[in-house]
């Protein structure tokens, strides 16, 4: 399998996971021209075999879309819930650790993510 085909297969797998976990439509964020996801910036992209990149990529996309302060809070909570869902893939003894990671990621995006948020103002008719 070529590198390009392998990359496309990995991105399709991540996108399929997102579509199962996120409510509403999920665009193909891996083929957008002016958006480049970077995974979990400044943090590990995986815990053991559990890949956290799809949740972080979705969070990056939502930051790219932007919105109000309330929208940012909602997006950060969505990241927390997506990461927390990954805990179900672990043995019950290790789920507490993954939930702790979800709390840590949530805390850090709340504290340090403000400068990356795209503050688009809503236009009212």
Q: Which two tokens stand for residue 26?
A: 């999920």
Residue 96 phi/psi, 5-degree rounding, is: -60, -35
pTM of the full structure: 0.82
Alpha-carbon distances of 77 from 58, 71, 80, 84, rounded to whole Å: 12, 10, 5, 10
Closest CA to 59 of 45, 79, 36, 42: 79
Q: Domain extents for the chain?
A: 3-116
- Architecture field, domain 3-116: Up-down Bundle (1.20)
Question: For 41-61, what is each residue's pLDDT tens digit?
Answer: 888 888 887 888 889 999 999
Contact 76, 112 (CB under 8 A): no
Residues 52-72 have a mean pLDDT of 91
Of 9-23, 47-61, 72-86, 89-103, the range with the lowest mean pLDDT is 9-23
Q: What is the pLDDT of residues 17-28, one digit of tens each?
A: 778 888 777 888
Maximal C-alpha separation, the chain: 53
Q: How far is CA 120 from CA 38, 61, 63, 69, 75, in A?
A: 21, 14, 10, 10, 14
């Amino acid at each position: 399998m070529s590198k390009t085909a392998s990359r496309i297969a990995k991105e399709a797998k991540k996108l399929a996971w997102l579509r199962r976990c996120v409510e509403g439509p999920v665009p193909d964020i891996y083929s957008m021209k002016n958006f480049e996801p970077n995974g979990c910036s400044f943090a590990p992209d995986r815990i053991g075999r559990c890949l956290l990149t799809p949740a972080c990529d979705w969070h990056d996309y939502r930051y790219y879309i932007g919105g109000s302060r309330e929208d940012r809070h909602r997006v950060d909570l969505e990241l927390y819930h997506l990461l927390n869902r990954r805990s179900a893939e672990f043995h019950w003894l290790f789920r507490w650790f993954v939930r702790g990671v979800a709390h840590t990621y949530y805390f850090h995006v709340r504290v340090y993510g403000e400068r990356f948020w795209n503050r688009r103002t809503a236009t009212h008719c």
